[in-house]
């Protein structure tokens, strides 16, 4: 019922949200366009075909084809032994998945939303993340926990949290967050092939968005390295870091700033843990300014960690205070107007970038 209600709300709100995330992007020559949903589905299909140890489990992943149709067609192709519909018990099926990974299988566990992973956090943190260390390397746990993360549209405080910082604070886990179709395909393949547990944070508002991809991305051997960020747009005046849906916002901001003579560099983090500190610091040393963007809470957030890294390694290169743009430090409101105020908007990032470049108009001048 939750999935059906959410899909209806998305249908009503997506047209309003789409312009903010559908922005001009620079890619190499693209063979075709595919949606993020199709990219994830094809990655699962190809990895299941290549390795019989890979199997899927979660609520509605089989007969219903997935709550967001990410697993469409896979039950028919691989059968119920490799695409397992589970009861509504995250703690139960996540524990089974971790046990299967101990045994040498490669489970891909879907959460209908990562908010529900809180029911299973003991298995993720205390069992999956720590077993390799506690066994002195004798036990590997090749498991992927995937599903939509962060705010959707009108789903309230209990279904709108970003878990990037939560899981990235735990040693033993790798945390990935794709933005476009290339990210989704390459990172999910890397996650499934990795011998360690991976938390794979998607965004349901991006599932239906199409992105251009090259022939290389569509090749079955394509895989992206874990722990490596991508410079989506090069610049010289300010560095903007973002992940997931906020990358689209950052790219839109870079276009708007260009009209004011500010050339911003946009970094798509892709990997939250491990964090590509080298790429971030190299960019800041070139631009001398930093703006971090995320949907999650500001305190102890991903942006806070990035700022700390830059202050520790590149402080002498900074020509302005670092700027953090994050979600409001409150539970997510349900009302649409208040929800919009609680998550970062394009204009918030523009103002921060202009402050960093000393282009903002003083409040006294506007009085």
Q: What angle do CA 201, 78, 95 make, to 5 degrees?
A: 50
Residues 6+ apart with CB under 8 A from 243: 164, 177, 179, 268, 269, 270, 272, 294, 302
Tell me the CATH class for 33-218.
alpha beta
Residue 4's pLDDT is 44
Q: 121-167 pLDDT, tens per residue?
A: 999 999 999 999 999 999 999 999 999 999 888 888 999 999 999 99
Cα 251 from chain centre: 16
The total number of residues shown for the chain amounts to 367
Pick the closest to residue 3 from 136, 155, 224, 195 (CA basis): 155
DSSP letter assigned to residue 87: -
- The topology (CATH level 3) of 230-357 is Rossmann fold (3.40.50)
User: Could you tell me where in the chain the CATH 3.40.50.970 domains are found?
Assistant: 33-218
Residue ranges in the chain whose pLDDT is less than 70 = 1-31, 361-367
Alpha-carbon gap, residue 306 to 300, rounded angstroms = 11
Are the C-beta atoms of residues 220 and 335 closer than 8 Å to each other? no
Residue 23's pLDDT is 38
Q: 3-58 pLDDT, tens per residue?
A: 444 444 444 444 443 434 433 344 444 469 999 999 999 999 999 999 999 999 99
Residue 31's pLDDT is 64
SS3 (DSSP) at 10: helix
Q: Describe the crossing of helices 277-287 and 302-314 by its angle, rounded to 10 degrees.
A: 60
Alpha-carbon gap, residue 213 to 234, rounded angstroms = 19
Please report where in the chains the tokens 């199409």 appear, as a residue.
Answer: 210
Global pTM exceeds 0.75: yes
User: Could you tell me where in the chain the CATH 3.40.50.920 domains are found?
Assistant: 230-357
Residue 29's pLDDT is 47
Residue 357's pLDDT is 95
Residues marked active site are found at 90, 159
């Amino acid at each position: 019922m939750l999935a059906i209600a959410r899909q209806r709300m998305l249908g009503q709100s997506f047209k309003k949200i789409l312009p903010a995330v559908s922005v001009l992007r620079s890619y190499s020559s693209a063979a075709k366009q595919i949606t993020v949903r199709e990219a994830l589905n094809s990655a699962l299909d190809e990895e299941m075909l290549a390795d019989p140890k890979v199997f899927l489990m979660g609520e509605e992943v089989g007969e219903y084809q997935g709550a967001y149709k990410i697993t469409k067609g896979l039950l028919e192709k691989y059968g119920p032994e490799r695409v397992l519909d589970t009861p509504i018990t995250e703690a139960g099926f996540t524990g089974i998945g971790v046990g299967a990974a101990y045994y040498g299988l490669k489970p891909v566990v879907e959460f209908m939303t990562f908010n529900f992973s809180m029911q299973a956090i003991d298995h993720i943190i205390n069992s999956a993340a720590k077993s390799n260390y506690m066994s002195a390397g004798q036990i590997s746990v090749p498991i992927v926990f995937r599903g939509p993360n962060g705010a959707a549209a009108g789903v309230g405080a209990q279904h709108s949290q970003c878990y990037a910082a939560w899981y990235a604070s735990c040693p033993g886990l790798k945390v990935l967050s794709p933005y476009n179709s290339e990210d989704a395909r390459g990172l999910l393949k890397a996650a499934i092939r990795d011998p360690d547990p991976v938390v794979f944070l998607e965004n349901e508002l991006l599932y239906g968005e199409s992105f251009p991809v090259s022939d290389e991305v569509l090749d079955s051997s394509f895989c992206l390295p874990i722990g490596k960020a991508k410079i989506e747009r090069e610049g010289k005046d300010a560095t903007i870091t973002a992940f997931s849906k906020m990358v689209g916002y950052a790219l839109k901001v870079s276009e708007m700033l260009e009209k004011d003579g500010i050339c911003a560099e946009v970094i798509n983090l892709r990997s939250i843990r491990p964090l590509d500190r080298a790429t971030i610091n190299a960019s800041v040393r070139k631009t001398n300014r930093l703006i971090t963007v995320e949907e999650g809470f500001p305190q102890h957030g991903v942006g806070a960690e990035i700022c700390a890294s830059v202050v520790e390694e590149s402080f002498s290169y900074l020509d302005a205070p670092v700027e953090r743009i994050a979600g409001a430090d409150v539970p997510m409101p349900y009302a649409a107007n208040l929800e919009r105020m609680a998550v970062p908007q394009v204009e918030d990032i523009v103002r921060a970038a202009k402050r960093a470049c000393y282009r903002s108009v003083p409040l006294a001048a506007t009085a």
